[in-house]
Structure 1
C-alpha cells in the first residue's frame, strides 16, 4: 500500500501546490488564462499525438474496447440523468450537468500521466483511445443535450453542423487525427520535431494538475447539496465497478487495457463539467462543488483502486 500511495503523491502534490499558490498569491481567476491555453492548445494535444502516433495502427482500431468503455460511462450517465429528472425533479438542463458530474472523469488532465506511471507504456494505446474518443463523444453529447434542454432556436441542421464543427476543430481531436494518420502511414517525425513533441508532452501532466489545483482554490465550496453525495458515489465507486464488470464480462482484452479503463473510470469529475455548466449558466455552483468534492474524495478512493490493480484483484484471467 505504501508503494501505491507513493504513486499518487506527485499527482495530488501538484494539485495541492496549485491550490496553495492560488491562495497565497491571491491572483484573479483570469490570471490562469494563458496557462489553460498552453495546456489545451499545445501540451495535451502533443501528448495525445505522441500516444497515438507511436502506437501500432491495428491496436488503434479496437472498436470493441472503446464501445465497451463508452457503454459503461453512458450507462452511469443515463442512470443519473433519469435520477435527476424523475427522482430529484430537476430540470433537464440541471440533470444533464448532474449526469456529466457522475460520468465525465478527469481523463484529460489526470488520466494519461497517472495511467502511464502506474501501468507503463503498455497502457498507452487504451489510454489514448479513451481520452480522445470519450472526450469527442462528450463534446457532441453536451451541446446536443443542452440545446434540447434550453430550447436552442437554431435550425436542427445548423445546430448539428455547429456541434460537428466545434468537435472537428478541437485541438484534442485534431492532434488525435494527426496521430492516427502518422500511425497508419508509418511515418517517423524528424528528430527536432519529435523532440518538440516530447517536450510539450512531458509538460502536460504537471501544468494540467497545477492549473487544476488553482481552479479548485478559486472556486471555494459554499454548500454541499444532497445530490452531490450520490453523484460522487456514482463517479468514484459505481463507474469503475461497472467498467470492470463489462470489460471482464465481454472479454478479449489484455490485462493492461482493462486496468487502464478501470483506473480512468475511477478519476474524479472533470473540470470540463464546470466549464459546461458555466457556459450554459446551469447548476454552476454545484458543478464546481462536485469537481472539488470528488477530487478530495479521490484521495481516499484512488489508492484503493491502485491497490486492487497492483495486488492482482482485478485480473483479466478467464476472459475469452
Structure 2
C-alpha cells in the first residue's frame, strides 16, 4: 500500500499545490490563460508525439480494444443521460450530467499517471483511449445540444464545427503526427528530439498544477443532487464496466486492461465545465461535479491502483 501512496500522492500533491497557491495569490481565472495554452498546444501534444512515434505500428490497430473502451464510455453516458431525462425532461441538462459521469480527465491526469503506474507499455492504450473518447465527446455534445434546441447552428455549420474540433485539436494532431512518424520510421533531429523530451517532461506537473488552480478559482455555489449518482458511476462503475467490456472484446495484455480501468476511474474532466459554460447549461453544478469527483478520486484511485498492482483483479 505504501508504494501506491507514493505513486498517487505526488499527483494529488501537485493539484493541491495549484489549489493552495491560487487561494493565497488571488489571481483571476484568466491569469491561467497562457499556462493552459502552453499545456494544451505545446506540452501535452509533445508528450503524445513522443510516445506514439516510438510505438510499434502493430499495437496501434487494436480495434477490439477501441470498441470496448468507447462502448463502455457511451454506456455510462447513456445511463446518466436517461436518469437525467427522467428527472428533468431536459435534453441539454441531461447531456451535461451524462458527460460529468462519463468524461474523465484523460488529458491532464491520465497519461502521466498511467505511464508512471504501468510503465511505457501503457502509452499506446492511453493514446487510443484519449483519441476515440474525445471523438465521441466532440460529436455527442453538439449533437445533443442541437437536438435540444440549445445549439442554433445549421446542420452544415454543426458538422463543420465537429470536424474542426476533431481534426484541429492539438492532441489529435500530435497523435496523427506521432502515428505517421511511427509508420514511416522517422526520427526527428537530435535538437528537436531533446526539445520534445523537455516539453513532454513539463506536461504532467504543469497540467496538474493548473487543474488545482482552476478548481480553486471556480466558486462552489450549487451542489447538484445528482452527485450521489455521478460520483459512483464515474469512479467505480465505469472502471468495472470497461473491465467487463474488454474481457468480452478480446484477449488483451493485463497492462492494457489495467490502463483502461485507470483511465475510466479518473475524475470528471474540466472540459465538462467548459462545455456547460459554452451552452449556458448546468454550469455551477458541472463545476461542483468536477471538484467532488476529484476529491473522492483520491481514495478510489488509490484503491484501484492497489488492486491492480497487487494482483487482486483477475
The two structures have a TM-score, normalised by structure 1, of 0.95
- Alignment pair present for 1:240 and 2:239: yes
Cα shift at 1:241 = 0.8
Structure 1 match to 2:260: 261
CA contact (8 A) 2:151 2:279 kept: no
CA contact (8 A) 2:166 2:172 kept: yes
- 1:37-52 to 2 correspondence within 5 Å? 37-52=37-52
CA contact (8 A) 1:53 1:182 kept: yes
CA contact (8 A) 1:15 1:214 kept: yes
In the alignment, structure 1 segments of 5+ residues that lack a partner are 316-320
In the alignment, structure 2 segments of 5+ residues that lack a partner are none
- 1:196-215 to 2 correspondence within 5 Å? 196-215=195-214
Cα shift at 1:38 = 0.4
- 1:179-194 to 2 correspondence within 5 Å? 179-194=178-193
Q: Give, in whole Å, the separation in 2 of the partners of 1:236 and 1:21.
A: 27
Cα shift at 1:91 = 1.1
RMSD: 1.1
Cα shift at 1:176 = 0.9
- 1:139-288 to 2 correspondence within 5 Å? 139-288=138-287
CA contact (8 A) 2:65 2:250 kept: no
- Shift of the 208–90 alpha-carbon distance from structure 1 to 2, 3 Å rule, reads farther
Q: Give, in whole Å, the separation in 2 of the partners of 1:251 and 1:160.
A: 33
May I ask how many residue pairs the two structures share in their alignment?
Answer: 314
The two structures have a TM-score, normalised by structure 2, of 0.97
Q: Give, in whole Å, the separation in 2 of the partners of 1:92 and 1:128.
A: 31
After superposing the two structures, state which structure 1 stretch, 73-82 or 157-166, moved more.
157-166
Q: Give per-residue Cα distances to partners, 1:170-199, cap 9 Å, x unaligned.
A: 111111111111111111111111111111
After superposing the two structures, state which structure 1 stretch, 237-246 or 98-107, moved more.
237-246
CA contact (8 A) 1:116 1:123 kept: yes
Structure 1 match to 2:290: 291
Q: Give, in whole Å, the separation in 1 of the partners of 2:143 and 2:194.
A: 39
Q: Give per-residue Cα distances to partners, 1:23-75, cap 9 Å, x unaligned.
A: 01011110110000001100111111112111111111111111100011110
Q: Give, in whole Å, the separation in 1 of the partners of 2:165 and 2:254.
A: 35
CA contact (8 A) 1:136 1:173 kept: no
Cα shift at 1:245 = 1.4
SS in 1 for 2:80: helix
After superposing the two structures, state which structure 1 stretch, 227-236 or 126-135, moved more.
126-135
Cα shift at 1:152 = 3.2
Structure 2 match to 1:318: none
Cα shift at 1:90 = 4.2
Structure 2 match to 1:119: 118
- 1:24-43 to 2 correspondence within 5 Å? 24-43=24-43
